Structure 1
Amino acid sequence: MTLALISAASVAIAAPAGAAGTDLYVDRSKAACLDTGPGSQLQPFCTIQAAANVVSPGQTVHIGYGQYAPVTITRSGTPDAPITFVGVPSGTFIGLSDQGVFSPRAVTVSGAHDVVLTKLRTYATEAAVVVDHSDHVAVDGNYISGSAVAPNAKPGIGVDLVNGSGPVVISRNNILNWGTAGVSVAPGVTGATVTTNLIRYNFAPGVVATDAPGTVVTSNTVIDNCVSGITLAGASTGAAVENNLLHNNHNVLDGQANCGPSDTTGELVVAAGSTEHTVVDHNLVNTAQSDVLYSWGGTAYSTPAAFTAASGQGTHDINADPKLGLGDDPTLTEGSPAIDSADPAAPGELATDQVGGARVDDPLVANAGPGFADRGAFEFQDPFKITRVKATPREGPAPLAATVTGTIDNPWSTPVRYTIAFGDGSAPVTTDTPTAQHTYTRVFDPIPSAWLNTDDSCASP
C-alpha cells in the first residue's frame, strides 16, 4: 500500500480524459441539445432514445445528469465492440419524471445483442430493465428501484429477462422496492447469470428463475425481502446457487413486519423440477424470521446439516449471523463468518465486489473456503485508517524546521509506503514511516496544512 502525505497547497485533481471522438452524448440540461443533431459533447441529444436510434457497434452513449424518459434499445453491438450506455453515478435517472412519477418501464433491450447498461438509476412501476429476446447483454452497476414502498406493495420486477433471452449477466446492481421479484428469469431464458448484486427490501423473492435451465446465482447479498431470498421454480435444472449471503428474508422488510401473512417457504427454495443437476454450496443462509432455511423438492429443512444429509447439497453452507454493518449497512464487519469462506472458482464469481473492491485475504481470519473470497456481494476490505496527523511546529519564522507525523490503525499489519510532500515545490519524500522532516525556506501565510490521504481514510491536523 502506498499512501500520500501531502500539503493542501500541492493538491491537484486531474480532469478525466476525453472520450473517443465517435462516442455519443445525451444531456437534456444543455440549451444546445437537439435530437436531430450530431450527439456530440457540444451539441448532445436531448433524449436517450435519440442516441439509441443511431448508436453503432463500439460506441458509448454518455448520459448526463437529469431525469430522462424511458428508452427502448434495438440496435446491437458485436462481441468485440459492444454498445454501451453509461450514466453519471447517482445522477442519471431513467423512468422518473420531473414531477417524480415513475414510468411503467425504464430501459428495454429488445431483439438486440452485445449491449452494456451501467451507472444508471432506473425507476418504474412494472419493470425497470427488461431484456426481451436479446443475448449477450450486461446490466452492471445500476440502481434499480420500484414503487413498492411499505405498506403499499405493488407488482413489479427490477430486472426482467423474457422471451428466450440469454446469455445475460446481471451484476453489481442495487435492486430494491419490487412487488413481484427483484430479478425474474422467465421461462425459456437460458444461461442467465445473477452475480454480486445487493437485492433487498422487495415485497417478493429476491431472485426467481422459472423454467430457466442453467441459471447461475452467485455471490449476491439477498437480505430483508419478503418471501424467499432465491427461488428456482418449474424446471430450472442445471442451476448453480453458490457464495450467496441470504439473511432475514420472508416476513421482514427493513426490520419491520410489512410483508403480510407469515411466509415459511425458506431462504432458498428449489422446486422438485429444478433439482436435477443443480448445485448449491458455500452459501450463508440465516434468518431470525422462520425455522425454515431451505425448501428442496418440496421438503423443508431448518439446518444446513439436515439439508445436506437429505440432498447431498450445501456441504459448505453455514447458518450464522453474518455480522453486517449497523443500520442499513449491508457490508461485512470483522469476524463475519462470510469472510474468506467462499469458493473463488464458483461459476459467475467476479474478480471485484459490488462496489469494485478487489477480493482480498483477511489475515485475521483462517480461510474456510478453497480461497479467500467472501460470501455475498461485498468483500471485507483492509480496515486500515488514519487516526491523527500532527505537524509541529505549526508556525514560526523562516527558515522553519517542521515535522509531520501520522498516526495509523493497521490491524492487518499491511506493509505501507508513504509519499510525503510539503507544498513548497520541493521533491516529495518516500519513506517506510509516516514521519518526515522538512525546512521551509520561504514565508507562507499561513503555513501549508499537511494531510495524510489513502483510498479509505484521510486526516489533517
Structure 2
Amino acid sequence: MKRFKVLINAGIVKGERAVDEHVRRLLRLADRVGALDAPRAWSHDVPTPTDEARREQLLRIAASGMTVLRNGDTVPLGRGIARCPMSSGGYTIRRRPLSGARARTGWSLLRTLEGQGAGRERHEDPPMTRSGAFGQGPSPRRSAGLAACVAVAALGLASVPLGAAGGAVTTLYVGGSGCSDTGSGTATVPFCTIAKAAKVAVAGQTVLVASGTYTDEVFPWHSGISGSPIVFRPATGASVTISGAKHGFTISNQSWITVSGFTIQASTSNGIYVFNATGVTLSGNTVRTSGQRVSGATAYGMYLNSMTGSVVSGNLVTDNSASGIFLTNGSTGNQVTGNESSWNAYGYVRNAVGIDLRAPGNVISGNRVHDNEDSGIQSYPGGDSNTIVGNVSYHNMGFTTAALSNCSPPPTGNTGGCITGDHGIDDFGVTGSSVVGNTVYDNVSSGINLEGVASGTSTGFTIANNVAVDNAIGCPDGVGGTVKCPRTRGNIRVDSTSQLGTNVDSDLVSLSTAGTMMVWGSTSYTSMAAFRTASGEELRGLQADPRLANPAGGDFTLRAGSPAVDSADSGAPGELTTDAGGRPRVDDPATVNTGIGPRAFDDRGAFEYQPPTPSQVTP
C-alpha cells in the first residue's frame, strides 16, 4: 500500500477509484485460482493435446489470431487460415536493419510463420513499421496486439501440421511443359522443381513428378499426419532421377513423409538423409553412387538418424561410397524389409556394409545383401535388441588391387592386392538380438558372428533356424584361383566373451570342402556333432546339404527333399509367418513334420519350400 500512496502522491494513480480497481482485479485473480477457499472446478474431460478435437481447436485459434506479414504461397490462405482483423494503417515490413537478439528473435519468429522451420532461418532484420509513417514504430497498444496475434499464430502452427482442408487440391504436379515455380502446381501449370513442391506440400497431398532428371535437393517444409502423409512419387509410368544434389531427399524435423519410386544418384552427400522424424516411408527407390571413394568425401546410400516408427522397403541401394543403409542415434521401431543393398565400398578402407545397425529395436527382414566391401549386415555398439530375420546375405567377398587399409592380401596369387568382404551377419558388442531364419552363404569370414560382448554380461542372444553354407572356406587370390580365407572361420561363431546367455539351435550348416564348421569360444569344430557335444548347443541342429536351387546364380530357394523343409522352430523369437519372398508357410505333404513350436512345418532359412501342389495351411 505504501507503493500506491507514493503513486497517488506523485499523481500517477488518480485517487481511490484507481486503487479500488487494482484491488478488485487482485481479488478476482485470487478467486479464480482458488486462493479464497473456493477452489475452481476444473473440467477433467477436455481433449488431450494430441486429440483431433484439440488440434482443430488450436488451428481455429491460430487462424482467428493471425496476421500474415509476408506470404510467398507458403501459408495456404484460402485453406482455413484467416487474417487478423486490421484497422486502417496496417503494418508492413520495412527493410531497415536491426541488430542483436531482438532482431534475430523477431525475424526468426516471422520466418517460422512463413513455414521455414529448423534449418531454414534467414538472418534478415526487417523491423515492423506502420505504413504511412516511415521510420516510426507502431503504438504500444498495436504492438502488443500484433505481438499477441503473431505469438498465437506461431503456437497454433507449431502444434498442428498444415493440412489440405476441404476443397483444397490433393495433388501437386511437377515437371513438363508450361511449368513455373511461381505457379500453383496444377496439372496445367506444374512446378518446375520438386524442391518447390516440397515447400508447399501439406498433410494429405501427393506430389506427382513427371519424367526427367532433376538436380534440386528435396527438403519438405511441412509434416504430414498419421493417415494423411505427404507423398512424393513419380507420375504413373514416369521415370524420375534426382542427380547431383547434396542429398536427393532431406527429411529433417518433419514426419509422416513418403518417398517412393525415385532414382537418386551421384549425390555429393548421403542419397537420402533423415533426421528426427517418425512415420517416414522410403519405398521402391534406387539410391546409387552417393559421394566419392575418397577420404572426406564418402557418403551413405541412406543415412537414417533418430528416425522412429518408419518403413524402409523394396529399395535398391548400391554402389555407394559408404554403407548402403545406416541406422544410428536412437533410430528405433523401424521396419527395414525387402531391400537389396550391394556393391557398397569406401574404396580406401575395407569398411562399407550392406545394412549397418548402430541403433536398437528394429526389424531387419527379407533383405538381400551381397558383394559389399565388408559384412552384409552388422550390428555394432548401440544396435541392441534388433530382430534380424529372413534375410539372404551372400558373397560379401571380393578382390581389389587398390591400396585398402584393414584388408588382407592373399598368401599366394596377386599378393599386391587384398581380399575384401567379411561376415554374412556380424554382431559385435551388442545384446538382446535375434538372428533367425536367415540364409548365409559364401562370405569371407564366419557366416554368422557374435563377438565382443563384455565379459560376464549375458548376451540374451538367439541364433536359430538359419541356413549357413560354405562360409570362410575359399577366397579369390586375384589371379583366377582361390585361397584360404583370412580372418575368422566357421558357418556360425560365438567368441569366448559372448557365450553367456546365448542360445544357438535349429540351424542347418554345410561345407562343400573340409574346414571349420562351427566355433564356440576359442575352439573350432569340424562337425555339428562335435560342436553339440562340447557346447550343449544346437540340440536340433543339422549338418546336411540344404539343396539350395542355384546359389551361384543367386537363387536360394529350397529344392524338394531339402532337410530344411518342415523342420524349423516356429516359436523362435522373431520367426515370421511368411518367407523372404512374402510367401506363406506351407506344409509339404511329402515331408514328415519335424519342426516344433506353434507350426510344425516352418522351413529353416530365408525361403519356404513351395511344393508343386501345396497343402497350404493358414497359420
Q: Tell me the TM-score normalised to structure 1 length.
A: 0.69
Q: What amino acid does structure 2 have at the position aligned with 1:178?
A: N
SS at match of 1:291: coil
How is 1:135-284 mapped onto 2 (pairs within 5 angstroms)?
Answer: 135-147=332-344, 154-162=350-358, 165-202=359-396, 203-235=421-453, 237-252=459-474, 261=485, 265-284=489-508
Summarize deviations over 1:126-149 as a string: whole Å, max 9, x none. Answer: 211110111112211111012469
Alpha-carbon distance in 1 for matches of 2:579, 2:368? 12
SS at match of 2:592: coil
Structure 1 partner of 2:275: 74
Summarize deviations over 1:393-450 as a string: whole Å, max 9, x none. Answer: xxxxxxxxxxxxxxxxxxx5789xxxxxxxxxxxxxxxxxxxxxxxxxxxxxxxxxxx
Q: CA deviation at 1:75?
A: 3.5
Distance 1:42 1:414, change over 3 A: closer
Distance 1:74 1:230, change over 3 A: same
1:364 corresponds, among 555, 565, 590, to: 590
Alpha-carbon distance in 1 for matches of 2:323, 2:441? 20
- The reply on whether 1:36 has 2:233 as its aligned counterpart is no
Distance 1:279 1:115, change over 3 A: same
Q: Check conservation: 2:444, 2:485, Cα contact below 8 A.
A: no
Q: CA deviation at 1:29?
A: 9.5
Q: Check conservation: 1:131, 1:160, Cα contact below 8 A.
A: yes
Structure 2 partner of 1:428: none
Distance 1:100 1:42, change over 3 A: farther
Structure 2 partner of 1:3: none
Q: Check conservation: 1:148, 1:177, Cα contact below 8 A.
A: no
Alpha-carbon distance in 1 for matches of 2:539, 2:277? 42
Q: CA deviation at 1:262?
A: 5.5
Bigger relative contact order, structure 1 or 2 (CA pairs below 8 A, ≥6 apart): 1
Distance 1:75 1:52, change over 3 A: farther
Structure 2 partner of 1:84: 281
Q: CA deviation at 1:42?
A: 3.7
Q: What amino acid does structure 1 have at the position aligned with 2:609?
A: F
- The structure that has the greater radius of gyration is 2
Q: Check conservation: 1:235, 1:273, Cα contact below 8 A.
A: yes
Alpha-carbon distance in 1 for matches of 2:562, 2:450? 27
Q: Check conservation: 1:95, 1:103, Cα contact below 8 A.
A: no
Q: Check conservation: 1:28, 1:66, Cα contact below 8 A.
A: no
Q: Check conservation: 2:585, 2:616, Cα contact below 8 A.
A: no
Q: CA deviation at 1:252?
A: 3.4
Identity of aligned residues (%): 29
Structure 2 partner of 1:400: none
Structure 1 partner of 2:532: 308
Q: What amino acid does structure 2 have at the position aligned with 1:132?
A: T
Distance 1:280 1:97, change over 3 A: closer
Structure 1 partner of 2:517: 293
Structure number with the higher helix fraction is 2
- The reply on whether 1:114 has 2:312 as its aligned counterpart is no
Structure 2 partner of 1:333: 559
Q: CA deviation at 1:253?
A: 6.2
Structure 1 partner of 2:579: 353
Structure 2 partner of 1:50: 218
Distance 1:53 1:246, change over 3 A: farther
- The reply on whether 1:131 has 2:327 as its aligned counterpart is yes
Alpha-carbon distance in 1 for matches of 2:444, 2:169? 45
Q: What amino acid does structure 2 have at the position aligned with 1:206?
A: G
Q: CA deviation at 1:28?
A: 8.6
Distance 1:182 1:26, change over 3 A: farther
Q: CA deviation at 1:56?
A: 3.7
Uncovered stretches (5+) of structure 1, i.e. residues with no partner:
1-20, 385-411, 416-461
Greater mean deviation of Cα atoms: 197-206 or 24-33:
24-33
Q: What amino acid does structure 1 have at the position aligned with 2:449?
A: T
How is 1:359-398 mapped onto 2 (pairs within 5 angstroms)?
Answer: 359-370=585-596, 371-384=600-613
Alpha-carbon distance in 1 for matches of 2:438, 2:170? 33
Q: CA deviation at 1:50?
A: 2.4
Q: CA deviation at 1:49?
A: 6.0
Q: Check conservation: 1:146, 1:157, Cα contact below 8 A.
A: no
Greater mean deviation of Cα atoms: 331-340 or 263-272:
263-272
Alpha-carbon distance in 1 for matches of 2:172, 2:530? 56
Structure number with the higher strand fraction is 1
Alpha-carbon distance in 2 for matches of 1:48, 1:365? 56
Q: Check conservation: 2:369, 2:393, Cα contact below 8 A.
A: yes
Summarize deviations over 1:244-265 as a string: whole Å, max 9, x none. Answer: 00001113369x8657645662
SS at match of 2:533: helix
Summarize deviations over 1:48-70 as a string: whole Å, max 9, x none. Answer: 96256644453351422433440
Q: Check conservation: 2:291, 2:298, Cα contact below 8 A.
A: no
Structure 2 partner of 1:458: none
Q: CA deviation at 1:291?
A: 2.4
Uncovered stretches (5+) of structure 2, i.e. residues with no partner:
1-167, 180-191, 230-256, 397-420
Alpha-carbon distance in 1 for matches of 2:390, 2:173? 29
Alpha-carbon distance in 2 for matches of 1:103, 1:239? 33
Q: Tell me the TM-score normalised to structure 2 length.
A: 0.52
Q: CA deviation at 1:26?
A: 11
